[in-house]
């Protein structure tokens, strides 16, 4: 029996077909802690903002459940009451259900006690002490929603993202009789970053009434702590991560964060699918956030943006400054992103013929070192500490070069935004950065940027020197820009890869039930 027949014999005897007549439409439920435009700290939000629309474009029905944090609103949403019991305590709130288009809905989980706060996961550099409750609550809310959402159609796939949604597949496997509407769905878990594992003291298992059957080596136990991410990985039919190279790297001890063995054991149930980018939001030809729009055919607007960018950072804007390359960085300021390499090399880098602009927020130590650098060499580097979407777009458009010296990078989106904006990426050869940047070499065809391997300040300095040499050769530089601007990183191909994974997950779920 093929997967579809197998799945249908267990689920629903009426195979439904898309208007195209061939592929059956899938009902997909995403659960995540961020999604553009409602909540964002990093690339997870960009992915959840764009992937559902790409899946809808392939004919599928998609619902995304996420917390409704402070300030987020879903105008016109239908409200449904919500009551969540975890252990001895009960929380009250509501679900805000909004149809965005015929095939796409978003559901905001509104429990003010959990989500009406300054930050998403932390405040003042400290994780909220009740994150275990908050995201156990998200999982229960998503499952209760699915169970009661009788008018939303069948759910074929439940797709959980990162540790915050890790309990979703685990609870479905644990209590199929409670969540019957998703019990037979294919379960997919995507790891966006293994460094965040949702690790809590094991007492949460009892306190939140999660059931000690989840606290086993085969499920959520991780060195005597309880990991939401491990629960999700171990309970899912298919596990994905966000680039092919990171899928390989994460199965090795060096970048596996202790999960490499668990991931290796999945074999071909663990797959890397490169993220796409939202080409409607990130398009220099139509970006409303830019002072001037431009395209590969006419780059004059890029120079206008460069001047606006320098001006915005209070940097010199004379002819000399405009001729000098601007190197941009936009990032969470955490050790993953390799800021220490840049800061340790700062004296030499600031002496080179380039101007630097940095936008970021995160660890107080990096914030302070960057601000200190900007005070010491104010004519060469501008630093803005904070989260500013508009400024991120201006940097992508106005800079000549975009630097990502990451120690590890599951995918990385900014290098792809940079390519599309004609801003040449300089990256460490890791994860998705390695998969998307083709390095410049003499006579290399199709190069679109620069890469270095060693995580050392020296390797970074050498590469930036090479970048500045090539920048002085206008034809070579223009070829790099052109090449990057013609790369296609739209979501379509990656969404198709997800659909393949969904079909495998459905098949695996059907086999589970047949056993």
Site residues, ligand ADP (CB under 6 A):
42-44, 46, 330-332, 359-361, 387-389, 392, 411-414
CB-nearer residue toward ligand GLC: 11 or 275: 275
**Min separation Cβ 416 and ligand ADP, Å:** 9
Select from ligand GLC, ligand ADP, none the partner in contact with residue 392, using the beta carbon and a kind-dependent cut-off of 5 to 8 Å: ligand ADP
Structure tokens, 240: 């994905």
361 binding partner (options ligand ADP, ligand GLC, none; Cβ < 5 to 8 Å by kind):
ligand ADP
Q: List residues bridging with 508 in a β-sheet.
A: none
152 or 431: whose CB is closer to ligand GLC? 431
Please state, in angstroms and rounded to a whole number, the distance separating the CA atoms of residues 12 and 280.
37
Q: Which does residue 330 bind out of ligand ADP, ligand GLC, none, counting CB within 5 to 8 angstroms by kind?
A: ligand ADP
d(CA 310, CA 307): 5
Contact 232, 163 (CB under 8 A): yes
Backbone angles phi, psi at 45, to 5 degrees: -65, -40
Nearer to ligand GLC, 55 or 413 (CB): 413
Q: Report the partner that residue 367 touches, choosing among ligand GLC, ligand ADP, none (CB closer than 5 to 8 A by kind).
A: none
387 binds, among ligand GLC, ligand ADP, none (CB under 5 to 8 A by kind): ligand ADP
Query: Cβ 509 to ligand GLC, closest distance in Å?
Result: 24
CA distances from 245 to 248, 256, 327, 338 (A): 5, 12, 26, 18
Residue 27 interacts, among ligand ADP, ligand GLC, none and using kind-specific CB cut-offs from 5 to 8 Å, with: none
Quick one: 27 or 49, whose CB is closer to ligand GLC? 49
Which own/partner pairs from 122-127 qualify as long-range (CB within 8 Å, at least 24 positions apart)? 125/363, 125/364
Collapsed DSSP state (helix, strand, coil) of residue 95? strand
> Cα–Cα distance between 128 and 437 in angstroms, integer?
37
- Nearest residue (CB) to ligand GLC, 192 versus 503: 192
> Which parts of this chain interact with ligand GLC (CB under 6 A)?
42-44, 47, 192-193, 242, 275, 409-413
Indicate the residue among 60 and 384 with the shorter CB distance to ligand ADP. Answer: 384
How far lies 32's CA from each of 159, 241, 294, 452, in Å? 9, 14, 34, 33
Residue with Cβ nearer ligand GLC (8 or 415): 415
Pick one of ligand GLC, ligand ADP, none as the site partner of residue 389 (Cβ within 5 to 8 A by kind): ligand ADP
The structure tokens 């970053």 sit at: 193
Q: In the complex, what is the shortest distance from the CB of residue 459 to ligand ADP, in angstroms, rounded to a whole number?
A: 21
Shortest Cβ 354–ligand ADP spacing (Å): 21
What are residue 123's DSSP bridge partners? 126
CB of 490 to ligand GLC, least distance (A): 16
257 binds, among ligand GLC, ligand ADP, none (CB under 5 to 8 A by kind): none
Q: Minimum distance from CB of 162 to ligand ADP (Å)?
A: 10
Angle between the 228-235 and 167-174 helix axes, to the nearest 10 degrees?
60
SS3 letters across 176-219 = CCCCHHHHCCEEEEEECCCCCCCEEECHHHHHCCCCHHHCCCCC
For ligand GLC, which is the closer residue by CB, 411 or 480? Answer: 411
Do residues 332 and 324 touch, judged by C-beta distance below 8 A? no
Q: Among 28, 320, 67, which residue's Cα sits nearest to residue 187? A: 28
Closest approach of Cβ 190 to ligand ADP, in Å? 13
Minimum Å distance from CB 411 to ligand GLC? 3
């Amino acid at each position: 029996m093929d997967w579809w027949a197998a799945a249908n014999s267990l689920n629903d005897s009426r195979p439904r077909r898309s208007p195209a007549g061939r592929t059956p439409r899938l009902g997909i439920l995403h659960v995540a802690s961020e999604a553009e435009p409602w909540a964002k700290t990093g690339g997870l939000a960009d992915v959840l903002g764009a992937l559902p629309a790409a899946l809808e474009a392939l004919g599928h029905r998609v619902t995304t459940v996420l917390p409704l944090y402070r300030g987020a609103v879903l105008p016109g949403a239908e409200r449904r009451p919500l009551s969540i019991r975890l252990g001895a305590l009960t929380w009250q709130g509501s679900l805000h259900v909004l149809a965005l288009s015929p095939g796409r809905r978003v559901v905001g989980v509104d429990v003010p006690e959990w989500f009406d706060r300054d930050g998403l996961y932390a405040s003042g550099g400290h994780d909220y002490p009740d994150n275990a409750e908050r995201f156990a609550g998200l999982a229960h809310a998503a499952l209760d929603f699915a169970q009661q959402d009788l008018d939303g159609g069948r759910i074929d796939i439940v797709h959980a993202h990162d540790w915050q949604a890790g309990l979703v597949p685990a609870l479905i496997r644990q209590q199929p009789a409670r969540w019957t509407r998703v019990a037979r769905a294919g379960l997919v878990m995507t790891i966006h970053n293994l460094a965040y594992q949702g690790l809590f003291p094991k007492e949460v298992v009892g306190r939140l009434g999660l059931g000690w059957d989840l606290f086993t080596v085969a499920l959520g136990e991780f060195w005597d702590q309880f990991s939401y991410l491990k629960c999700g990985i171990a309970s899912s039919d298919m596990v994905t991560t966000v680039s092919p190279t990171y899928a390989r790297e994460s199965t090795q001890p060096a970048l596996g964060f202790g999960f490499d063995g668990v991931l290796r054991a999945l074999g071909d149930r663990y797959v890397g699918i490169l993220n796409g980018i939202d080409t409607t939001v990130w398009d220099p030809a139509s970006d409303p956030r830019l002072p001037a729009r431009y395209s590969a055919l006419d780059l004059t607007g890029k120079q206008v943006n460069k001047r606006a960018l320098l001006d915005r950072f209070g940097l010199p804007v004379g002819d000399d400054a405009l001729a000098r390359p601007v190197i941009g960085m936009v990032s969470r300021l955490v050790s993953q992103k390799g800021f220490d390499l840049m800061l340790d090399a700062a004296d030499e880098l600031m002496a080179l013929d380039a101007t630097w602009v940095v936008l970021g927020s995160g660890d107080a130590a990096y914030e302070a070192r960057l601000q200190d650098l900007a005070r010491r060499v104010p004519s060469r580097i501008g630093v803005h500490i904070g989260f500013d979407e508009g400024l991120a777009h201006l940097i992508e458009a106005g800079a000549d070069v975009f630097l990502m010296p990451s120690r590890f990078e599951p995918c990385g989106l900014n290098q792809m935004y940079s390519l599309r904006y004609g801003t040449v990426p300089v990256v460490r050869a890791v994860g998705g950065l390695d998969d998307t940047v083709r390095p410049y070499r003499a006579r290399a065809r199709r190069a679109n940027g620069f890469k270095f391997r060693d995580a050392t300040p020296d390797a970074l300095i050498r590469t930036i020197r090479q970048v500045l040499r090539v920048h002085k050769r206008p034809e070579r530089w223009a070829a790099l820009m052109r090449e990057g601007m013609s790369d296609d990183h739209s979501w379509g191909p990656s969404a198709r890869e997800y659909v393949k994974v969904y079909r495998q997950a459905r098949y695996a779920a059907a086999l589970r039930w047949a056993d």
